Amino acid sequence: MSVSGSEIISADLSGLRAQFPILSQKVHGKPLVFLDSAASAQKPDVVIDGMARMMRSQYANIHRGLHWMSERSTEAYEAARTRIAEFLGAEFREEIVFTHNSTEAINLVAYSYGSLINPGQAVLISEMEHHANLVPWQMLRDRAGIELRVAPITDSGDLDLDAYGELLADGKVALVAITHMSNVLGTITPAHRLIEMAHAVGAKILLDGSQAVVHRRVNVRELDADFYTFTGHKLYGPTGIGILWARRELLDAMPPFMGGGDMISSVTFEKSTWAPIPAKFEAGTPAIVEAVGLGIAIDWVEAIGFDAIAAHEAALTKHALNVLSEVPGLSVVGQPRHRGGVISFTMDDVHPHDIATLLDRNGIAVRAGHHCAEPLMRRLGLTATARASFAVYTTEHEIDVLASTLRRIRQFFV
Amino acid sequence: MSVSGSEIISADLSGLRAQFPILSQKVHGKPLVFLDSAASAQKPDVVIDGMARMMRSQYANIHRGLHWMSERSTEAYEAARTRIAEFLGAEFREEIVFTHNSTEAINLVAYSYGSLINPGQAVLISEMEHHANLVPWQMLRDRAGIELRVAPITDSGDLDLDAYGELLADGKVALVAITHMSNVLGTITPAHRLIEMAHAVGAKILLDGSQAVVHRRVNVRELDADFYTFTGHKLYGPTGIGILWARRELLDAMPPFMGGGDMISSVTFEKSTWAPIPAKFEAGTPAIVEAVGLGIAIDWVEAIGFDAIAAHEAALTKHALNVLSEVPGLSVVGQPRHRGGVISFTMDDVHPHDIATLLDRNGIAVRAGHHCAEPLMRRLGLTATARASFAVYTTEHEIDVLASTLRRIRQFFV
Amino acid sequence: MDENSLYNTIIVNRSRAPLHAGVVERATRLGQGTNPLCGDRVRLSVRTEKEEIENLLHETRGCAICIASTDLMAEAVTGRTVADALDLARQFTDMLENGSSMVETADAAMPDALRAFLPLRTHRSRLRCATLPWTALEEALDHD
Amino acid sequence: MDENSLYNTIIVNRSRAPLHAGVVERATRLGQGTNPLCGDRVRLSVRTEKEEIENLLHETRGCAICIASTDLMAEAVTGRTVADALDLARQFTDMLENGSSMVETADAAMPDALRAFLPLRTHRSRLRCATLPWTALEEALDHD
Ligand SMILES: Cc1ncc(COP(=O)(O)O)c(C=O)c1O
Ligand SMILES: Cc1ncc(COP(=O)(O)O)c(C=O)c1O
C-alpha cells in the first residue's frame, strides 16, 4: 500500500458513515456520538437491506424442505457458513457452528466438551474475563467437580505469563479459556504464546474472540487454536447470531449440547444417534436470516479490509489516549502492551454512572459499569469505569467532542 | 359478529397477501403456492420494516447502557416481553423468557428444571412429539437416570387418554411434556384435560405450543399450565427468537441454564449469585431486534384476531380435506377430533419426496419427510408423508391448485 | 451546561457534601440496599421512638444521584411517623417509575427537594440510583 | 407436464419396475446406504471375480429417484472392474454435486442413462437420493 491506513479511512470515512443512517440521529438535541460499539456495533445498510431482502423474496425454513424457497434459504445459510469459515481461516466449513451469541458458544463448550473433562482436571481462565467466559466454567466446576484456576494479570493490564506458565505446570489443566481481547482494558492477549504454552502441557485452548475479531484478522489455523468464539452483533452484524469454531476432531468427539430437530441422525424412543457436525450442534430452526446477515457483515468488513480497520483504530486509539490524558483528573485504566479500540477510564471521584449520564445529555454514548467483568473490577480496585470504544465509523472529531465534554463535566462537579 | 369469519377473511385476504411480497414470487416459472407455513411462516412487511427501522434509528445493546440509544433499545425489548406476556395471558411479564427458538426453550427446561427431578421419577411425553420435545428428555434420561414414558396415540391420531391416565397413575411422573398441536397430524391435544390429570397426581406439565399458538388463542393462566413454549418464526415473526413461559415460582426455583453477562447478580471467582427472573435465564446479548420483531408480529396477528384466523383456517382445512379426499389414491394421515391447519398425506406408492419435488416444479411448496417426528412415523407405519400447511395468507384457490396438481402427478406415476 | 436540569445544584452539592452521613447511635432499625448492576450500596441506621423517626443517618457508596437521593431522603423523613415515611417512599417511587400525576397536583407531602429527581424519568436506567435509599428505608422500617 | 425433464420415462419406469432388484447368490461383497433424512435405504449384494463385477443386485426402499438411480447404477457397473466402477462413482457424484464439465465433454465413461439425473442439480436437496446407491457401492467395494 502506498497510502497509510488512516489516509484510506479518512478518504473513505464519510462514505462509510453514510451507510449507517443511525449515526446521523440526534440525541437530546445533540448529534449522536456513538462510542459504545464494543457493547454492540451499528449495522451498515447493506446488512439491514440484505436481511429484509431475504425475508421479502427468498425465505423458508431450511434443510428439510425439498422446495425451491427452502433450497434457496438453505443455500444462503450454508454460504454464510462457508463465508465465516474463510473469515476465520478454518480448514473445514463443518467446523463452524452457528449459535445464539458468543455466550451460548462458550456454554456449549462448557456443557459438551466439559462433560469430557474429568474431576481432578482443571479449567484455566484469566482475571480479565467477561462473565461469558467465567460463569459457564464456574457452573461446570460446581456441577462436575472440576477445578477452576485463574491466571492473574499484571498492574498494566497484561496477562501475567509467568503465573500462567506456573498454573499450567502440573499438567492438570485440560482446557484453557481466555479472552483474545479484553472488553475493559482493550488488552490484546498474546494468543500464539498462550496456545503454545497450553499445548506444551497437553491442554486444549478456547479463545473468546468476541472483541478481537472486530479489530484484527484472526486465523484459527495459523494460531493453532482449538476453540474460537465470537458474536455477530459486535461485528456489524445482526443480534441473535454467534459463532463457535472448533477443530473437527473435537466437535466429532463431543456429545450434543441441545436436542431437537436437525441434530439427529435417527430417533427411536429408546435411542437417538446424532447427525454429523455441524448439524449435531444446531438443534431446531437456526437464526437463518441472522446467519445470512452476519455473512453480509463479514463481506462488508473484508471489503474495507483489516489493514485499513486496524490502522484506523490504532490512529483513533492513539489520539484518544493523547487527548484524554490531558483531561484533568482523568485516569485511563490499564496500559497493556497491545490494545484494541477500547478505553476504560475514571475521573477523580465523579462516579462513572454520572459521567455516562452527563455525556449522554450531550449526545455522547459511552458505557459505564463493571462491563460484565466484576472480578476484573475488583482486581483493579474499582467498582466501575466509563468506557469509550471505537468502530470503523468513529471519527477523531467524535473523540475530541468526548474529551471537551469530559472537561466540562469535571468543572461542573469539582 | 354479524359476518362469519371466512367472510371477513375473504374480504381482507387480498389486503393481507399484499403485505407478503414473497407470495407474489414465481418458482420454476409458476406462481408460488406456499403451503409450508408450519415449517416457517412468511413475514408481513410490518415485521420486516419494523426490524429494519430499529436497526436504522434506535439500536444499541440493552440493559447496561446508560445512554439514550440503549434505553430506547431496552424499552423496545422489554415492551416486546410485556406484549408476549399479554398474548399468552401470563400473570407476570417476568415469566416470559426469550430464547433462540422453541427447541432451546424446551432444552432450557430439560437442563434446568430437569436437574430438580430425581432419579426414580419420570418424564412423560407422547408418541406424537416433535424431536424438539423428545430428544432433550432422552438426553435427560441418559444423563440423570430419569425414566422416560411415552403416552400412545389412537389410530385416529388422538392422544390415548386412558393410557395417559395409566402412565400417570403411580405418581412417579414429575413432569409431562406434550405438544399442544401436532405438526404432522394437526391434532390439537385436549390441553385442559391433560393439565388437570397431570396436576391431579402432582406432576408439572409443559405444553409445546410451537404449532398451537399460530392457530388458536392460548391463555396459559386459564389453561393452568406450568410451562409453555413457542417459536417466533412460525408466528409470522423473525428467526432466532423463541419463548419460554413458566410460572414465576418455578422459574424462581430453577437454576440457570447458561452462564454469562446479565444473568448474574454478583460474580466473584469463588461464587456467583443469580439475577432475578427473567434475566437469570437470558445470558449474554439477546436477540434484541428479533424480540422486537416478534412483538410486532404478535400485534399484527392480534389485529387480525384469532376468531378470524381460526375461522379462516377451519374453512380452508375443511375445503382441503374435501378436495384431497377426491384425489385418487390419496390418503390423509390421521383423523383427529380437533385439528389445526396442517394436513399430512400419502398417495399410493408415490414416494412423498417425489410428490414434493413434482409439486415444487409446479410452484407448490409442501414439506415431505418425517417432519422431525420419526417415532410417530414408525407408529403410523410410514417412513415419510407429504404435508400441506396453511396460514392466514393461504387461499382456497391455492388448495385447489394443490389438488389438481396431485391428480396430474398420480396420472404420471401410475 | 444543560445537564443542570438533572444534576442541579442541590443534587451536586449533597452528593459532594452530604449533611446526613454517618451512623446513628442506639439505632433501633437498620436497612441496606445494593444495586448489583453498578455496585451502589446504601446503609441506613435509624432511631425510632414510638413509631416516629427521630434520627436517620446513612453510609452511601455510589453515584451522585444515589448519594444525594439518600441524603435528601434522610432530611425528608426525619420527624415523620413510620407510616408517613413509608407512604412517602411509595409516592417517590411512583413519581419516578410511573410518572404519577403528583408532579402537577403539588402534593403537600412531597418536599420540593425530592422533586429535583423528576428529570430522571427520561433516564430510566438511572431510576434505581434514586430509589435505592427508599428501598433500604422500606427494609429498615418494614422489618421490626 | 414439464416435470418430464426430471422424472423422465426411464427414471419413472425403472422406479416402478426395477430390472436389477434382488439378492446375488454367493455375493462376495455387501454394501448399504441409508439416508436418515428420509429413511431411504439401499442394500447391495455384489459378486466379484478377479476384481471384476460379475453381478450386482439391490434391495431398495426409497423414492423414485433413488430406486431408479440404484437400478441404473447396477446396469452401469456390471461388467466393469472395481477400479472402474469406483471411478464412475466419483464421476457421477461430481457431475451432480459440482456440476463438473463432464456434461459438455461427452465423457465416454458416463452412460447416457446416468445423465438422466442431471436436472437434479437444480434440486440439491434431492441429490442424496441419486448418490445414495453410489455411496453404498463405495462401501461394498472399498471394504474387502
Ligand atoms: C410441534 C413443534 N415443536 C417444536 C418445533 C421446533 O421449533 P424450532 O425449530 O423453531 O425450535 C416445531 C417446529 O419445527 C414444531 O412443529
Ligand atoms: C470479551 C467478551 N466476551 C463475551 C461477550 C459476550 O457476547 P454476547 O453477549 O454477544 O454473547 C462479550 C460482549 O459483551 C465480550 O466483550
Q: Where does A214-325 show beta strands of DSSP type E?
A: 227-231, 242-246, 264-267, 272-274
Yes or no: say if A206 and A231 are a contact pair by the CB < 8 Å rule.
no
The whole-angstrom separation of Cα A21 and Cα A19 is 6
The mean pLDDT of A288-298, rounded to a whole number, is 98
In this predicted structure, what is the pLDDT of residue D119?
Answer: 87
Q: Which chains touch D (3 or more CB pairs under 8 A)?
A: A, B
Yes or no: say if A190 and A339 are a contact pair by the CB < 8 Å rule.
no
Span B345-366, pLDDT tens digits = 999 989 999 999 999 999 999 9
**What is the three-class DSSP state of D131?**
helix
DSSP 3-state percent helix, strand, coil across chain C (nearest 5): 50, 20, 30
Yes or no: say if B304 and B345 are a contact pair by the CB < 8 Å rule.
no
> What angle separates helix C64-77 from helix C9-16, to the nearest 10 degrees?
90
Q: Cβ of C125 and B65 within 8 Å?
A: yes
Span A306-357, pLDDT tens digits = 999 999 999 999 999 999 999 999 999 999 999 999 999 999 989 999 999 9
3-state per-residue secondary structure call for chain B: CCCCHHHHHHHHHHHHHHCCHHHHCEECCEECEECECCCCCCCCHHHHHHHHHHHHHCCCCCCCCCCHHHHHHHHHHHHHHHHHHHHHCCCCHHHEEEECCHHHHHHHHHHHHHHHCCECEEEEEECCCCHHHCHHHHHHHHHHCCEEEEECECCCCCECHHHHHHHHCCCCEEEEEEECECCCCCEECCHHHHHHHHHHCCCEEEEECCCHHHHCCCCHHHHCCCEEEEEHHHCCCCCCCEEEEECHHHHHHCCCCCCCCCCEEEECCCCEEECCCCHHHCCCCCCHHHHHHHHHHHHHHHHHCHHHHHHHHHHHHHHHHHHHHCCCCEEECCCCCCECCEEEEEECCECHHHHHHHHHCCCEECEEECCCCHHHHHHHCCCCEEEEECCCCCCHHHHHHHHHHHHHHHHHHC
Note if B51 is an active site residue: no
Yes or no: say if D142 and D25 are a contact pair by the CB < 8 Å rule.
no
In this predicted structure, what is the pLDDT of residue C1?
Answer: 43
Which of A372, A374, A376, A389 to mutate for ligand 2's pocket (most ligand atoms within 8 Å of CB)?
A372
pTM assigned to the model: 0.94
In this predicted structure, what is the pLDDT of residue A1?
Answer: 33
**What is the three-class DSSP state of A119?**
strand
Instruction: Sort residue A63 into left (φ over 0), alpha (ψ -120 to 50) or beta.
Output: left
**A245: distance to nearest CA of chain D, Å?**
25
With bands split at pLDDT 50, 70 and 90, how would you rate the model's confidence at D39? confident
H helix runs in A19-160, sequence order = 45-57, 68-88, 102-112, 135-144
The residue of chain C with its CA nearest to that of B63 is C125
* Structural domains in chain A, sorted by start: 5-43+305-413 (3.90.1150.10), 49-302 (3.40.640.10)
How many other C-beta atoms lie within 10 A of the C-beta of residue B19? 18
Peptide bond into A278 cis (omega under 30): yes
pLDDT (tens, 9 = 90+) of chain B, 414 residues, equals 333 334 444 445 567 999 999 999 999 999 999 999 999 999 999 999 999 999 999 999 997 778 999 999 999 999 999 999 999 999 999 999 999 999 999 999 999 999 999 999 999 999 999 999 999 999 999 999 999 999 999 999 999 999 999 999 999 999 999 999 999 999 999 999 999 999 999 999 999 999 999 999 999 999 999 999 999 999 999 999 999 999 999 999 999 999 999 999 889 999 999 999 999 999 999 999 999 999 999 999 999 999 999 999 999 999 999 999 999 999 999 999 999 999 999 999 899 999 999 999 999 999 999 999 999 999 999 989 999 999 999 999 999 999 999 999 999 887
Q: What amino acid is encoded at B56 in this protein?
A: R
* Structural domains in chain C, sorted by start: 3-142 (3.90.1010.10)
Which of A128, A183, A371, A389 to mutate for ligand 2's pocket (most ligand atoms within 8 Å of CB)?
A183
Question: Is A63's pLDDT higher than 90?
Answer: no
Beta strand B367-369 pairing with B96-99? unpaired
The residue of chain A with its CA nearest to that of B99 is A100
How many other C-beta atoms lie within 10 A of the C-beta of residue B192? 12
DSSP 3-state percent helix, strand, coil across chain A (nearest 5): 45, 20, 35
Tell me which of B372, B379, B396, B407 is the catalytic residue: B372
Chain D window 50-89: which residues touch B at a Cβ cutoff of 8 Å? 61-65
**Residue B65 CB–ligand 2 contact under 6 Å:** no
**C64: distance to nearest CA of chain A, Å?**
7
Beta strand B122-126 pairing with B173-179? parallel
What mean pLDDT value characterizes chain D?
87
CB pairs under 8 A between B and D: 48
The mean pLDDT of D100-123, rounded to a whole number, is 73
The whole-angstrom separation of Cα B185 and Cα B155 is 11
Yes or no: say if B290 and B80 are a contact pair by the CB < 8 Å rule.
no
Phi, psi of A279 (to 5 degrees): -55, -35
Q: Cβ of D38 and B354 within 8 Å?
A: no
Of the candidates A276, A284, A279, A104, the one whose C-alpha atom is nearest the C-alpha of residue B134 is A284
Cβ-Cβ contacts under 8 Å for A126 (sequence gap 6 or more):
A150, A151, A152, A153, A159, A164, A178, A179, A189
Q: Cβ of B265 and C124 within 8 Å?
A: no
Measure CA D60 to chain center.
Answer: 11
The mean pLDDT of D20-39, rounded to a whole number, is 90
CA angle centred on A392, ends A386 and A397, rounded to 5° = 65
The whole-angstrom separation of Cα A231 and Cα A180 is 13
Element (H, E) at A26: strand A26-27
Beta strand A385-389 pairing with A367-369? antiparallel
Yes or no: say if A291 and A241 are a contact pair by the CB < 8 Å rule.
yes
Using CB atoms, which residue from B71, B265, B275 is nearest to C125? B71
Q: Cβ of D124 and A75 within 8 Å?
A: yes
With bands split at pLDDT 50, 70 and 90, how would you rate the model's confidence at A66? confident
Of the candidates A222, A158, A216, A148, the one whose C-alpha atom is nearest the C-alpha of residue A190 is A158
The whole-angstrom separation of Cα A48 and Cα B293 is 13
**Residue A398 CB–ligand 2 contact under 6 Å:** no
Question: Is A9's pLDDT higher than 70?
Answer: no
For residue A352, list chain C residues with Cβ-Cβ distance below 8 A. 63
The whole-angstrom separation of Cα A357 and Cα C6 is 9
Of the candidates D98, D102, D96, the one whose C-alpha atom is nearest the C-alpha of residue D129 is D96
For residue C64, list chain B residues with Cβ-Cβ distance below 8 A. none
Rounded to the nearest whole angstrom, what is the distance from the C-alpha of residue B132 to the centroid of ligand 1? 6
Cβ-Cβ contacts under 8 Å for A270 (sequence gap 6 or more):
none
Rounded to the nearest whole angstrom, what is the distance from the C-alpha of residue A131 to the centroid of ligand 2? 8
**C38: distance to nearest CA of chain B, Å?**
9
How many other C-beta atoms lie within 10 A of the C-beta of residue C25? 9
Measure CA D3 to chain center.
Answer: 21
What mean pLDDT value characterizes chain A?
94
- Give the cell for residue D63: 423414492
Question: Is A88's pLDDT higher than 70?
Answer: yes
- Tell whether C3 lies on the interface with A, counting CB pairs under 8 A: yes
Tell me which of A310, A372, A375, A400 is the catalytic residue: A372
Nearest CA to ligand 1 atom 16: B183
Yes or no: say if B12 and B255 are a contact pair by the CB < 8 Å rule.
no
B31 forms beta bridges with B26
Question: Is C107's pLDDT higher than 70?
Answer: no
> What angle separates helix D9-16 from helix D64-77, to the nearest 10 degrees?
90
Burial class (CB in 10 A: 0-12, 13-18, 19+), B45: middle
Q: Cβ of B287 and A239 within 8 Å?
A: yes
Q: What amino acid is encoded at A176 in this protein?
A: V
Q: Cβ of D3 and B358 within 8 Å?
A: yes
With bands split at pLDDT 50, 70 and 90, how would you rate the model's confidence at D112? confident
The whole-angstrom separation of Cα B129 and Cα A8 is 57
Which of A130, A180, A189, A218 to mutate for ligand 2's pocket (most ligand atoms within 8 Å of CB)?
A130
For residue C63, list chain A residues with Cβ-Cβ distance below 8 A. 351-354
Question: Is C45's pLDDT higher than 90?
Answer: yes
In this predicted structure, what is the pLDDT of residue D142?
Answer: 84
Element (H, E) at C129: helix C127-142
- Tell whether D99 lies on the interface with A, counting CB pairs under 8 A: no
**Residue A132 CB–ligand 2 contact under 6 Å:** yes
In this predicted structure, what is the pLDDT of residue C100?
Answer: 59
The whole-angstrom separation of Cα D141 and Cα D86 is 8
Peptide bond into A352 cis (omega under 30): no
Q: Ligand 1 pocket: which residues have CB below 6 Å?
A: A 261, 284-285; B 101-103, 130, 132-133, 179, 183, 208, 210-211, 231, 242, 372
The mean pLDDT of D120-144, rounded to a whole number, is 88
For residue B262, list chain A residues with Cβ-Cβ distance below 8 A. 372
**What is the three-class DSSP state of A367?**
strand
- Tell whether C129 lies on the interface with A, counting CB pairs under 8 A: yes
Element (H, E) at D132: helix D127-142
The whole-angstrom separation of Cα A247 and Cα A228 is 9
A33 forms beta bridges with A364
**A2: distance to nearest CA of chain B, Å?**
35
